[in-house]
């Protein structure tokens, strides 16, 4: 994998249901994996920054896992609420330092009441 | 605590013109990076500034240049605008390493349209 890939591209979920989506990233020269939530007309906000293989992080109803050996991360949302509607971006940071983040195209999540 | 602010929010230019976008970093943050998000794409890293010098650059031509000022605010300059430069330009700041979790703090972006 040369780029950061996210799937699905978009997702409609019923309020109250749980959902998850995937981020695939290059496993070579890995430094960190970032997840951001981006609501319309606002700025992207960091959810998690993960560095260790097997790491799991949680913030309220949202959690994420990381597998650096195979190059993937999952984001889970439990009991979706309308305010969870947003684009979720993942980004790989390779090599550390000033290399910048490589972003995927995002998963656009719409929660239907 | 004031977050990252960018100006202008929207602007329209014609091909061949030059543009300057501005960014004020979050209080206490000394590193600023710029990203370009074209339609249907994820944000792409342009460059990063630390202590008023560029210390990292993505795959963008030299007509994309920047500055960082002593107060850590930053400018992105694009010369000889092309139609493909139409995009949302995001600025992000981050605190000194000793205080950093690695996350970036983004502004809301400047949307540039090149006609």
d(CA B75, CA B81): 16
Q: Write out chain A residues lying below 8 Å of B49, CB-based.
A: none
C-alpha dihedral over B94, A109, B42, B68, to 10 degrees?
A: -20
Q: What's the pLDDT at B34?
A: 98
Query: Among all residues of chain B, which has the CA nearest to that of A108?
Result: B40
Higher pLDDT, B22 or A95: B22
**3-class secondary-structure state, position B35:** strand
Higher pLDDT, B6 or A97: B6
Q: What's the pLDDT at B98?
A: 62
Q: Are B33 and A103 inside 8 Å of each other by CB? A: no
Q: Kindly give the confidence (pLDDT) of every residue in chain A, 113 residues in length, as a single tens digit, with 9 standing for 90 and above.
A: 569 999 999 999 999 999 999 999 998 888 999 999 999 999 999 999 999 999 999 999 999 999 999 999 999 999 999 999 999 999 999 866 667 999 999 999 999 99
Report the number of secondary-structure helices (H) and strands (E) in chain A: 0, 11
């Amino acid at each position: 994998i040369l780029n950061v890939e996210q799937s699905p591209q978009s997702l409609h979920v019923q309020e109250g249901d749980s959902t998850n989506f995937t981020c695939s990233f290059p496993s070579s020269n890995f430094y960190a994996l970032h997840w951001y939530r981006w609501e319309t007309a606002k700025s992207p906000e960091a959810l998690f920054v993960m560095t260790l293989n097997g790491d799991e992080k949680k913030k309220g109803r949202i959690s994420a896992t990381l597998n650096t050996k195979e190059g993937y991360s999952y984001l889970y949302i439990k009991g979706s609420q309308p305010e969870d509607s947003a684009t979720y971006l993942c980004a790989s940071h390779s090599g550390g330092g000033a290399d910048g983040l490589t972003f995927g195209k995002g998963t656009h999540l719409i929660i239907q009441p | 605590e004031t977050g990252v602010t960018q100006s202008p929010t929207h602007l329209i230019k014609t091909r061949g013109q030059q543009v300057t976008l501005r960014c004020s970093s979050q209080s206490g943050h000394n590193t600023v990076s710029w990203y370009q998000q074209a339609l249907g794409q994820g944000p792409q890293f342009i460059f990063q500034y630390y202590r008023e010098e560029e210390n990292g650059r993505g795959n963008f031509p030299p007509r994309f240049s920047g500055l960082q000022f002593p107060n850590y605010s930053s400018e992105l300059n694009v010369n000889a605008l092309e139609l493909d430069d139409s995009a949302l330009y995001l600025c992000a700041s981050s605190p000194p390493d000793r205080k950093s979790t690695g996350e970036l703090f983004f502004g809301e972006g400047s949307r540039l349209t090149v006609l």
